[in-house]
């Protein structure tokens, strides 16, 4: 008995698929022609969508640039360091309050004893702020009275993330002898010496004292209104002597040699400094220990609120764009009622009519989204350029913009598409 095998006819299977593909292409072509025939209306809707996406992508790109700037600035200040400071300051960031109580200042003797007695693999430095309104003079030239004077020791440049561009840093002996030496920022060099004169070994006047320049700091630029390029660094013992004021409080920076030991180092440092401050076990620590990235984290935390606000603004704009797009599509259905009736009368299915209007909405939405993404990236990177951060391409926000535009297009196109697909062909043909 013979067994017959019936193999499928692939030609018969592929023919409906090819026909369906042709119908899709034809629907897409008709959608593009409809958009062209209502060009002004389509352009206005595209612009409305583009503005919403631009606001969303642009603001969020700018926020990413600001985050990168904050992170890089604090990284250059020494990412693996922590500091011990007096609690006699008030710092308010967002809804948080830090150092809410006044405690006694940290004396030079306490800071020096800590530096000498810390038995931990770390580099320790002592610093103190002298003034922020000094005037620096060289011969007949002088700066504005806005130069910051800081007292530092031989380890401060390392723990603070500074680099010497020209000259050298202080030696331990120079700190002990309170020598009249200074390391200056690049902005002071440009104001007093220009490009022709080498500032190293030149004598400058700071306040009432004369100091020999031994080094120039590599430029860091300005961030959030502050600039290390407009500062002078003197031996901490010199500032203690010539810029003395009541209750002068010194700051201690500690940089563990192994970044993994940062938290252990904090515990060791707190234990030693509590002994130096003569605190009992039950006493609260009367000083602050702050990681170098804590302030950066607080600032980044508060930027989340700006991100949420920007997202809400962008979504509200997109809702307005969706309403405008839906209105245009409903008007288009009304204007093309006879065309829809003719197509249905010659055999067009409701699904094809619905598909055509959805295509129109999606094309307009994606065109608006593409324009908005390009404008948003440019707007956000203008902010990035102004604060000195590299060009950013926010892939997450680009993908989000594309998905949002697709959602807006579907949401605003579905009602007109369904309305068009349900039109009775006889009534539609009689529509005036």
Query: Which of 42-51, 120-129, 309-318: highest mean pLDDT?
Result: 120-129
What is residue 92's predicted lDDT score, i.e. its pLDDT? 46
Give pLDDT tens digits for 317-356: 777 777 777 777 777 777 777 777 777 777 767 777 777 7
Give pLDDT tens digits for 88-101: 654 444 444 444 44
380 Cβ contact list (under 8 Å, min separation 6): 57, 58, 59, 60, 61, 62, 64, 65, 392, 394
What is residue 257's predicted lDDT score, i.e. its pLDDT? 87
Q: Is the pLDDT of residue 414 over 60?
A: yes
Residue with more model confidence, 358 or 159: 159
Instruction: Count the alpha carbons within 13 Å of 373 in the hemisphere toward its beta carbon.
Output: 19
Give pLDDT tens digits for 211-220: 999 999 998 7
Q: What is the mean pLDDT of residues 377-395?
A: 80
Strands 209-217 and 181-184: parallel
Q: What is the mean pLDDT of residues 140-154?
A: 92
Q: What is the mean pLDDT of residues 57-65?
A: 82
What is residue 91's predicted lDDT score, i.e. its pLDDT? 47
Residue with more model confidence, 11 or 81: 81
Give pLDDT tens digits for 62-79: 888 877 776 666 655 555
Lowest-pLDDT range of 159-168, 170-179, 365-374, 415-424: 415-424
Distance CA 125, CA 243 (A): 19
Q: What three-state secondary structure class fits 254?
A: strand
Please give the mean pLDDT across all residues of the chain. 80
Q: Is the pLDDT of residue 15 over 80?
A: no
Q: What three-state secondary structure class fits 347?
A: coil
Paired tokens of 371: 């324009």
Instruction: Using alpha carbons, select from 43, 25, 30, 37 the residue that is nearest to residue 335.
Output: 37
């Amino acid at each position: 008995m013979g067994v017959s095998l019936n193999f499928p006819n692939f030609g018969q299977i592929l023919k409906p698929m090819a026909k369906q593909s042709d119908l899709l292409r034809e629907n897409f072509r008709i959608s593009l022609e409809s958009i062209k025939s209502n060009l002004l209306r389509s352009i206005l809707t595209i612009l409305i969508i583009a503005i919403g996406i631009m606001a969303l992508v642009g603001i969020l790109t700018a926020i990413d640039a600001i985050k990168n700037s904050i992170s890089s600035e604090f990284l250059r200040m020494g990412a693996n360091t922590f500091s011990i400071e007096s609690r006699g300051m008030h710092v308010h960031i967002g809804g948080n309050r830090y150092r809410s109580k006044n405690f006694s200042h940290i004396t030079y003797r306490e800071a020096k004893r800590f530096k000498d007695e810390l038995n931990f693999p770390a580099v320790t430095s002592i610093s103190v702020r002298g003034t922020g309104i000094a005037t620096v003079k060289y011969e007949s030239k002088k700066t504005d009275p806005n130069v910051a004077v800081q007292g530092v020791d031989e380890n401060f440049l390392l723990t603070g993330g500074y680099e010497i561009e020209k000259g050298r840093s202080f030696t331990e002996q120079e700190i002990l002898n309170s020598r009249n030496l200074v390391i200056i920022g690049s902005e002071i060099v440009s104001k007093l010496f220009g490009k022709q004169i080498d500032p190293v070994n030149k004598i400058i006047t700071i306040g009432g004292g004369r100091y020999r320049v031994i080094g120039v700091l590599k430029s860091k630029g300005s961030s959030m209104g502050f600039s290390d390029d407009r500062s002078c660094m003197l031996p901490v013992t010199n500032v203690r002597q010539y810029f003395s004021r009541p209750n002068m409080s010194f700051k201690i920076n500690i940089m563990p040699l192994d970044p993994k030991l940062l938290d252990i180092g904090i515990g060791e440092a707190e234990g030693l400094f509590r002994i130096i401050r003569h605190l009992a076990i039950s006493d609260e620590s009367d000083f602050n220990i702050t990681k170098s990235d804590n302030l950066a984290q607080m600032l980044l935390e508060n930027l989340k609120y700006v991100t949420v606000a920007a997202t809400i603004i962008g979504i509200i704009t997109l809702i307005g764009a969706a309403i405008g797009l839906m209105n245009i599509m409903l008007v288009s259905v009304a204007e093309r009622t006879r065309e829809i009736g003719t197509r249905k009368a010659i055999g067009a299915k409701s699904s094809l009519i619905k598909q055509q209007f959805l295509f129109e909405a999606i094309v307009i939405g994606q065109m608006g989204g593409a324009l908005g993404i390009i404008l948003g990236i440019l707007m956000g990177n203008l902010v990035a350029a102004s604060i000195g951060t590299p060009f950013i391409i926010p892939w997450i926000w680009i993908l989000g913009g594309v998905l949002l535009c697709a959602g807006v297009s579907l949401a605003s196109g579905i009602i007109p598409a369904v309305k068009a697909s349900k039109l009775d062909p006889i009534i539609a043909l009689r529509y005036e």
